[in-house]
Amino acid sequence: MMQIVLYFIASIHIHRSSYILVRGSTKPAAPAIARNCASPPIPYLTLRPTMEERNKLLILYATETGNALDAAERLGREAERRGCPVNILSMDEYDPSLLPKEEAVIFVVSTTGQGDTPAPMKVFWKYLLQRNLNQHWLNGVLYAVFGLGDSSYQKYNFVAKKLDRRLIDLGGTTLIERGLGDDQHPSGYEGALDPWMSSLWRKLNEAKPEYLPNGPEVTSSDAILIDQPKVQITYHNTDNEESHFPAPSDLTFTNIQIGSARLMHPGISSPNKSRPECFLKMVKNLPLTRSNCGKDVRHFELEFVSQAIEYDVGDVLEILPGQDSAAVDAFIQRFNLDPDSFITVTQRGKNDCGAQASTVPLKLKSFVELTMDVASASPRRYFFEVISYFATAEHEKERLKYFASPEGRDDLYQYNQKERRTVLEVLEDFPSVQMPFEWLVQLVPPLKTRAFSISSSLSAHPNQVHLTVNVVSWTTPYKRKRNGLCSTWLAALDPQDAFNIPAWFHKGSLPPPLPSLPLILVGPGTGCAPFHGFVEERALQSKTSSTAPIIFFFGCRNEDGDFLYRDFWLSHAENNGVLSEAKGGGFYVAFSRDQPQKVYVQHKMQENSQRIWNLLAEGAAIYIAGSSTKMPADVSSAFEEIVSKENGISREAAIRWLRALEKSGKYHIEGWS
């Protein structure tokens, strides 16, 4: 009997094998896969199932934000409750050539960004696209697909849809109609996942009843016991623990601390990115908006204080934000922990000597500060399920159990996600909960880096990187004030203070254009950030060689309130600058609220449709950046109308024309929530 494979793909790469013990069960936890530390890294493990594993439900996931991991572990727990043992692996640890040998494969796939494949899926997906895989390759293999996405994005659940089509092309047989989870649902993606899983168990029981000996319905829900956590904490003798470290003011010390902490945490991915690539110091913190305009957008100039990193325009900077020290102290005191104790954190039963060798003991408080988001992110549903077992007050226990149940799903969403309650706030609402630190490490959301589009050209600002950041704040339905962790932290930094900011660089969705490539840029609000760097670089290039024109469409609310970088854009739109009409370019701005009828960038595009089409006819590339809600779809629709009108073709033909432009690498979108 071959094993059933479940694939969970979303947004963070973490290897996990998790189990819930059912009362009366004598099944041991499956051993984690051991790595040969002397061997070179491989893209995935090529382990075939042993006899003992063939009746296990294998769950494979690939994730970048943690939703897929959360869903994978949830489905694993539900399978265990039905008497089905599970094995959970990341998708990039599975050899895709084994797929035809499986009997049933279930994919749960998230779409990231603008229809992008999550990182742990890329090798796997590339394998599936090989031309030598024919239409009979997956004959006899049952499969199902569940997608995790956000309907506010233009390419909603795009990865799930294209995976479904490819599996059909390869001869797979669908076990159940694909499900599409939506973050915009009142209960988040779980609003679709819960009924989909219910149908999944029924279909699986019909096709392979041997996998669900207890049947498709949960029969042991009142007898679930929480197993030991997946991590274990080792406390070290504090005598001379730091004697081998450089002085605390040394960047090497900070680098070691950050790298060790984040490598030890089970919920933080990419070991090769555990240590910061560089450290930055803020040298300018300038407001770009008027104080009473309703928003706070800042221009940050950051200088390299460690080694300089080469970057291109269009690249992205990731920053590890600092946490409020008082909140960290309150969390530590809440569980009577010793902030000065030295610890190492390891995954229970996992033999990863490469990771072990690169970690060093560090103070418990430092570990919490660098890895556990205690006062910003909302806990997941499983958090409420686990802490219900540690609540000693009966009324608290009952409420937590209700929140963790299918019946309480909507109420939990209103209480938790909609209000963005933090771990600290939840624990304050349930004061009887006391639990081991190991469980807290596993359950508290990991502290994530925040990504920002770079708004500078390295050629124009050697040894510096600039950011354009909206300082996020909002009010919840119950009038609770919330602030974005990283943007608020950056805004509070004083350039006079010598604070070192840990940072990583990586490629974004906007490739740097050649000087000879005409550009049509659309970037309302902080979407102008990457294009600030584009214009800076093109202006430098124009001083030494001939460059192609740029048309830029910018939008904001008011000319007086939030016209970001006004002087910069206007200076390049005049005196034969790279945005000037005299050079074939143009700068057009839409002020949405300066007149009774709202005017957006797409309206300015329509007014200049002939100029846009002329530039497209000359081979221009389109770049769109900004809010991922309605803007990209509205702008894309405007381009479709312009191509249809100016080229004298149907709307359907215009859509095909723009799709061809995208395939040729000349249509790019970078959106953010």
Query: Which residue intervals of 420-523 are DSSP H helices?
Result: 423-429, 437-443, 485-492
Across residues 14-23, what is the average pLDDT?
A: 30
pLDDT in tens, 174-226: 989 998 988 888 777 888 888 988 898 899 888 888 888 888 887 665 445 46
Q: Which two tokens stand for residue 327?
A: 């909140």
Which domains are delineated in the chain? 4-223 (3.40.50.360), 231-443 (1.20.990.10), 519-672 (3.40.50.80)
Three-state DSSP class for 162? helix
Going by C-beta distance under 8 Å and a sequence separation of 6 or more, which residues neighbour residue 516?
A: 546, 547, 548
pLDDT in tens, 320-375: 999 999 999 999 999 999 999 999 999 876 655 544 545 689 999 999 999 999 99
- Which parts of 320-449 are beta strand (E)? 342-347, 362-363
Q: pLDDT-derived band of residue 55, with 50, 70 and 90 as boundaries?
A: low
| Percentage of the residues of the chain whose pLDDT score is greater than 70 | 86
Lowest mean pLDDT among 31-35, 92-96, 559-563: 31-35
Q: 155 with 114: CB under 8 angstroms? A: yes
Q: Whole-angstrom Cα distance, residue 254 to residue 257? A: 5
Q: Which two tokens stand for residue 207?
A: 């096709």
For residue 150, give the nearest of 209, 65, 81, 234 by alpha carbon. Answer: 65
Instruction: Give pLDDT, residue 671.
Output: 84
Q: 128 with 165: CB under 8 angstroms? A: no
Across residues 522-537, what is the average pLDDT?
A: 97
Amino acid residing at 572: H
Count other C-beta atoms under 10 Å from residue 208's C-beta.
Answer: 19
pLDDT in tens, 227-275: 678 889 999 986 654 444 444 557 888 888 898 898 898 877 665 567 8
The residue ranking higher by pLDDT, 230 or 390, is 390
Q: 91 with 62: CB under 8 angstroms? A: yes
Count other C-beta atoms under 10 Å from residue 389's C-beta.
Answer: 15
pLDDT in tens, 417-461: 889 999 999 999 999 999 999 999 999 999 999 999 999 999 999
pLDDT in tens, 393-421: 999 999 999 998 888 988 998 999 889 99
Q: pLDDT-derived band of residue 33, with 50, 70 and 90 as boundaries?
A: very low
- The model's pTM: 0.82
Q: 171 with 193: CB under 8 angstroms? A: no
The values of phi and psi at residue 467, to 5°, are: -130, 150
Q: How many Å is the Cα radius of gyration of the chain?
A: 26
Lowest mean pLDDT among 476-480, 500-504, 552-556: 476-480
Q: 104 with 142: CB under 8 angstroms? A: yes
Q: 61 with 105: CB under 8 angstroms? A: no
